[in-house]
Amino acid sequence: MKKILYLLLLSLVLSASGCSGAASEDDENTLYIYNWGEYIDPDVLTMFTEETGIDIVYDEYETNEIMYPKIEAGAVNYDLVCPSDYMISKMIENDLLEEINFDNITDKDNIGKEYWEKSEEFDPGNKYSVPYVWGTVGILYNKTMVHEPVDSWGILWDEKYKDEILMQDSVRDAFMVAERYLGYSMNTTDEDELQASKKLLQAQKANVQAYVVDQVRDKMIGNEAALGVIYSGEAIYTQRENPDLEYVIPKEGTNVWIDSWVIPKNAKHKENAEKFINFLLKPRIAYMNFDYITYSTPNIPARALIEDEDIRKSPIAFPNLSDYDLEAYSYLGEDADRHLNDLWREVKSY
């Protein structure tokens, strides 16, 4: 009996060290990536490992706000993270990022000039980040349930659609909707404007079916709601799955965002991270990712590879930026962040 137990234990310990080996050995040949959920073609990861022999440990997060404390606490050493613009400037400000060695990013010119310029807004001098995908935030609606033209955020307050509305469960995106509807900047720190936005969101709550992030996609595909606030990148995918869905950018304007790769200060495999960034810049790889996640790519040669002309020229995936009133989030500072979080909790508390 004892012998069996001992043998069992021994084999388990061995297999445990085998399976968590990648995590504990801290081998030169690994790369720790922390990315948004469903934000890369898994085949790309396999291809990278096959090509370079570097093992990838891959984790996902749901919102920028969930990602940040993990990096800040430093208990977790990720080598590569993919935050949004405003979060990158917060990380730069708090000295959490390492400068990327652009000598290793030989394919950086595949990213269109305009995107490098846009990046300067949150990463002056383009020192810390390489753009990955970009897009807008808009309303996805189901044509069989909404029989009127949708062109304003205001429809999210229409009582006709009580319990048929899905809102984003992330502070900035939720407040952006209210702030834009009221005609404010989405980066406002004016107390009156914030309070007014909060009141508006509280008034909306009775209409909202749920506050979710990635679930908007599945719920809209499954006809479980009529209207949802969603990132433009999901629009093409959801339309593929359910042709009744339509994406619009409201006339009051919306957020335009860039998610870029950055290397945290405590990264242990910086060179591997740079190799991976460069790998993602290859037109074929960037195209594979676009095809899988359907978020707009800033990679010009990759876009040229898109066969379907409707998608290559799609106003959803690649909108003409000057046609809309667009604004990017900027980092508001520690105190304003905290205040916004408090207000958001007030909205969500029952």
Residues that bind other proteins (CB under 8 A): 5, 8-9, 12-13, 15-16, 19-20, 22-24, 32, 34, 37-38, 57-60, 62-63, 65-66, 68-69, 72-78, 163, 169, 205, 208-215, 217-218, 221-224, 338, 341-342, 345-346, 348-350
Nearest to other proteins of 208, 236 (CB atom):
208
**Shortest distance in whole angstroms from residue 17 CB to other proteins:** 9
**Shortest distance in whole angstroms from residue 27 CB to other proteins:** 13
Nearest to other proteins of 9, 203 (CB atom):
9
Nearest to other proteins of 32, 318 (CB atom):
32
Furthest C-alpha separation in the chain: 76
**Shortest distance in whole angstroms from residue 117 CB to other proteins:** 31
**Shortest distance in whole angstroms from residue 228 CB to other proteins:** 13
**Shortest distance in whole angstroms from residue 313 CB to other proteins:** 29
CA distance 88 to 97: 8
CA distance 93 to 98: 12
Closest among 210, 259, 238 to 316, alpha carbons compared: 238
Nearest to other proteins of 30, 89 (CB atom):
30
Nearest to other proteins of 216, 281 (CB atom):
216
**Shortest distance in whole angstroms from residue 320 CB to other proteins:** 31
Nearest to other proteins of 108, 205 (CB atom):
205
Nearest to other proteins of 24, 322 (CB atom):
24
**Shortest distance in whole angstroms from residue 337 CB to other proteins:** 8
As a three-state string, the secondary structure of the chain is: CHHHHHHHHHHHHHHHHHHCHHHHHCCCCEEEEEEECCCCCHHHHHHHHHHHCCEEEEEEECCHHHHHHHHHHCCCCCCEECCEHHHHHHHHHCCCEECCCHHHCCCHHHECHHHHHHHCCCCCCCCCEEEEEEEEEEEEEECCCCCCCCCCHHHHHCHHHCCCEEEECCHHHHHHHHHHHCCCCCCCCCHHHHHHHHHHHHHHHHHEEEEECCHHHHHHHCCCCCEEEEEHHHHHHHHHHCCCEEEECCCCCEEEEEEEEEEECCCCCHHHHHHHHHHHHCHHHHHHHHHHHCCECCEHHHHHCCCCHHHHCCCCCCCCHHHCCEECCCCCCHHHHHHHHHHHHHHHCC
Nearest to other proteins of 218, 308 (CB atom):
218
**Shortest distance in whole angstroms from residue 125 CB to other proteins:** 27
